[in-house]
Structure formats: structure tokens, C-alpha cells
Homo-oligomer: A and B are copies of this chain.
Amino acid sequence: MGCKKHLGWRGMLKKCGCKMTKPREIILEHLSKNCKHLTVEDIYFALKNKSHDIGLTTVYRTLELMVQNGILNKFDIGDGKSRYELAFETNSKDHHHHLVCCKCGLIINYNDFIDEEIQLLKKVEKELSEKHNFKILNHIIQFQGVCSNCAKKNEETN
């Protein structure tokens, strides 16, 4: 498991003069296995008391490094905590966008229309990057609203 990934990560790190370390390996491995939207705390506590205890500061630093190098995506659902997930290539089958509940923070991945979305994004991206001389690296499409659970809760209250 993870051999190819490990090589990729190590290569990426070498390119920017960084080293592959135990904590970095463990954190990336954890993110690979849990394809979720994790906070720093989520990761810190999940790895606590495992074979190798990782400091909170190191979790922060590792995640930031991986974002800078395009391994991870960082995003914010409005609750003041950053969330991280593996960055999937725009054209991979794992690439997806988000539905976010503004009441409870639930995040739903979807890729039902991903081909159409990507097609339009590509076009917009091309025109805008030329027009504004802007190098586009990434995109976000996100719908915000109220999940079925929160809607139900709200009805009961009234």
C-alpha cells in the first residue's frame, strides 16, 4: 500500500528542499485512508497515542506544507477551522465539489455533473487567465444550504 504515493510525496519534498519524516508520512497516510474533510484537531487526536506521537504544531506545519505543494486542498466552511483533504487532479474520477450545510457543517462530496462542470471551468479558466494575466491553479465550486437533518430539526422547533 501507498508505495507509489510515498515515492510521489518524497519526490515532491525533495524538489522543494524538504525531507520526508515520520510525522509527515503518518499524516499523509492518515489523510489517504480517511478521504474526509479533516481539521487539524481531528488529525492530531486521531494520531495521538499511536506508534509515534505527533505534536500539534507539527500537524499544522505539515498540512500547510502539503497545501503549498498541491498535495492537499485547504478549505473553510465558515466555522473558523481550516479543513483539509487530498487534492485530486481536476480530471480524476475522485475529483469532486461540495455541498455544505451552514447549520451543522455537514459536507457532502458530489461529482454527478463533474464533466459538465469541468468543461465550463476549463473554458472560463482559459479566458480569465488570459484576460487578467492570472495563473489559475485551483478552483472551488461549493453550494451552501441546509441539510435534511437540520431542516427537520428546524421544523420540530416551530
Name A residues whose Cβ lies closer than 8 Å to a Cβ of B: 74, 76, 78, 99, 101-102, 108, 110, 112-113, 116-117, 120, 123-125, 127-129, 131-148, 151
Q: B146–A137 contact, CB under 8 A?
A: yes
Q: How many copies of this chain are found per oligomer? A: 2
Q: A129–B145 contact, CB under 8 A?
A: yes
* A132: B residues at CB distance < 8 A: 99, 108, 110, 147-148
Given A76-B76, A128-B99 in contact, is the A148-B133 Cβ separation under 8 Å? yes
Q: B120–A134 contact, CB under 8 A?
A: no
13 A-B pairs besides A113-B120, A138-B145 with CB distance below 8 A are: A76-B78, A99-B136, A101-B134, A102-B137, A113-B124, A124-B143, A132-B148, A134-B145, A135-B146, A136-B144, A137-B144, A139-B141, A139-B143
Distance in Å: Cβ of A152 to nearest Cβ of chain B: 9
Given A76-B76, A108-B134 in contact, is the A141-B144 Cβ separation under 8 Å? no
* A143: B residues at CB distance < 8 A: 124-125, 128, 134, 136, 138-140
